[in-house]
Chains A and B, each alone.
Chain A
């Protein structure tokens, strides 16, 4: 009992020191820390969004839209290829994850098969003898497209959020088709949600002048055109106007290299610049179509439809619509950042104001402190001098827990604070087990030293068994929990570990040091 190996003592003291040093930065404010020399530890406990304020958004990528768009592209290329090769077909369209069609002439099966293979590499081609044919995306290809769409979305979201100047956002993939976005300290999540929620697919296309909107609505719409609403709303919430616009894209947003909000005639506008390919296409198209209207389409809505006055060869231009400075800035930002491969939906949102977070911390700190004081007093009342030893270990435990949380960058959440309070209560259990065991041994008539020895040794096994079961449930809570619950599990898991360390080793060390000095004839328990 008494011979604590020196290396063991130094290890315990060293661990405590590291814990104290790691916990220290939390006593200071960020500004005070920044002013200190760099060799000092500055890592503070990371506060969860519920404590520092901010937004947690769970977004879902519309994978079906990605697949549909891809398959519609396949339909277009099949149509073009068959037309060129003069092969008759009917019922060409998308069915689920396949493109299907029916060949008119069954003698052309082989030619059709070859053509289909060439027009969409990577798809499974099947052509049966009765002339029905299909191109199917297999599961592997679907998975790959999902992965790409999510990865690309994450990249675009990151660019958009970075432009807003949000500090330290977290943008992560979750599952197969979800993206978790965490924005600490954001005051206006609605704005960011609006930015993320836009696909921002921009196209420049011609207005179809062959039919009027009314004719088109009456069913006279050519298959190569579509009716699109204008982006501006009239007073009644309905679009201000409708346009008949060709489906064929003259130039797309992918060819943009820059977009900025500027002013023209004191009106906010968005100026843009094309890359060389875009500039050439735009130049050619405008030169051949002077006097016609073209439409600037964003996410299926017409922003503006100006007349082409003369050829625009410079590769740059401006978009005017009835913008405010804010909407012009946002549009420029979206164009710069690029289009999302698919629409995103917010399926979960949790936003906490910074004030509420600060209130929660204050209340949590106060409650933990009250709990700590109550336990400290109770332990002295119940166990006298040994209670004091346990209290020292308990306070060290709290410091160690805070140090561990700081050092490992774990996130403290609101339930995490409850976890700390609970840990403090339970941490004392190990010492209670030891002390009660010592009392028992004393009653059984053992000598002080034998009582201590037995008390610590017998209790240790119980402590480990009891805590391991607790650790198991905390770890499972950690693995499966999300958000605040995870934070609770983190503090609980670390709490179990640090309390095992302090109550078994630190208390024992203190008791040994005391015993060596005091050599009591009877134990004060």
Chain B
């Protein structure tokens, strides 16, 4: 018979609420900075959104990037971007969307193939025409908003509107700062990135709900305690779970980032960031903000339910 180690002591009493003000200001600044970044610097849209051509080729020996750049630039297809992709033999060729509508895109692909010849292996070809790109952006924004509304509605339904509102604010915080990070680092923003953002939203809400669940419990149990103490207590009591879950999820996503292959790396990096920001926002944004919502109003409702009455310090009686 053997037990495990306790990563977090069961009786931690970290005063999270004490530092919530400066962190909240930091969060607001982060969100504002992200918005400003996206508005000014913009996002490095992948071909999913801005249209264009992407080809992954494998050369027989180590790729001669300079030589390829030279020959491809002379085709008159506009700016050609070449990038090493994984092994020295693999090269990503990017062309921006060609003038002349959808048919011109295919012609450009053919030109590149004629130029590079049959000595290279064409591992991947993606062409997104001008029409599709614009549609995909709107579809992505629409999907993100719809997901947020769906989640808010569920939390509102299961909890109270204050919880729903805060969870959504915290999720917006995570989504916006994630997009801001994409802008800051110049990471490619494509359909997979949108999937990553939505996953981050899902993860973040998942994390938030766990703590909210506990806060609601404690609110019913300890009626006299100030709300900020209840929040503190709830975060402390779920801290072990938060650490373990975030840690293990990070581990599995890290494995994807390191070993999952080149194509999934960007995706995995976005998720790593998302897990970090999601965990942070649950503790320092979603929870503290509850004290500004009139949770006392909820008490009236909660007291109608048969709740255990106990004082703050005494442990709950064993049944």
Contacts and interface: CB of A to CB of B under 8 A. Distances in A.
Interface string B145-187: 0110011001100100000000000000000000000000000
B125 A380 contact: no
A372 B123 CA distance: 29
A492 B136 CA distance: 21
Given A350-B125, A447-B318, A415 B192 contact: yes
A351 B209 contact: no
Contacts of B199: 422, 473, 477, 488, 492
B5 A347 contact: no
A462 B255 contact: no
Contacts of B103: 345-346
Interface string A356-393: 10011001101110111011001111111111000000
Main secondary structure of the interface of B (DSSP, over half): helix
B251 A425 contact: yes
B261 A60 contact: no
Interface stretch (A99-107, A130-138, A290-298, A438-446): A438-446
Contacts of B245: 426, 428-429, 432-433
Contacts of A439: 6, 10, 240
Greatest chain B CB density within 10 A among A353, A418, A428 is at: A418
A477 B147 contact: yes
B4 A363 contact: no
A368 to B, nearest CB: 8
Contacts of A375: 248, 251-252
Given A380-B4, A384-B4, A418-B256, A356 B56 contact: yes
B259 A414 contact: no
Contact of A426 (B101, B151, B206, B237): B206
Nearest to B264: A418
A349 to B, nearest CB: 4
A421 B252 contact: yes
Interface stretch (A155-163, A243-251, A479-487): A479-487
Nearest to B155: A469
B256 A355 contact: no
Contacts of B139: 480, 482
B248 A428 contact: yes
Contacts of A479: 143
A468 B154 contact: yes
A182 interface: no
B241 A433 contact: yes
Interface string A473-508: 110110111111100110010000000000000000
Nearest to A426: B249
Interface in B117-145: 121-129, 131-132, 136, 139, 142-143
A520 interface: yes
Interface in A12-54: 50
A443 B143 CA distance: 44
Given A414-B263, A473-B150, A492-B199, A367 B255 contact: yes
A305 interface: no
Nearest to A437: B241
A303 interface: no
22 contacts: A346-B102, A346-B103, A347-B128, A351-B126, A353-B121, A366-B260, A367-B258, A367-B261, A368-B256, A375-B248, A382-B244, A417-B264, A421-B255, A422-B252, A425-B253, A426-B249, A436-B240, A445-B318, A450-B319, A477-B199, A485-B192, A520-B1
Given A347-B131, A367-B259, A477-B199, 8 more contacts: A347-B128, A426-B203, A445-B315, A470-B206, A473-B199, A476-B150, A477-B195, A492-B202
Interface of A: 50, 58, 60, 189-190, 193, 345-353, 355-356, 359-360, 363-364, 366-368, 370-372, 374-375, 378-387, 414-415, 417-418, 421-422, 424-426, 428-429, 432-433, 436, 439-440, 443-447, 450, 454, 461-462, 465-470, 472-474, 476-477, 479-485, 488-489, 492, 518, 520, 523-525
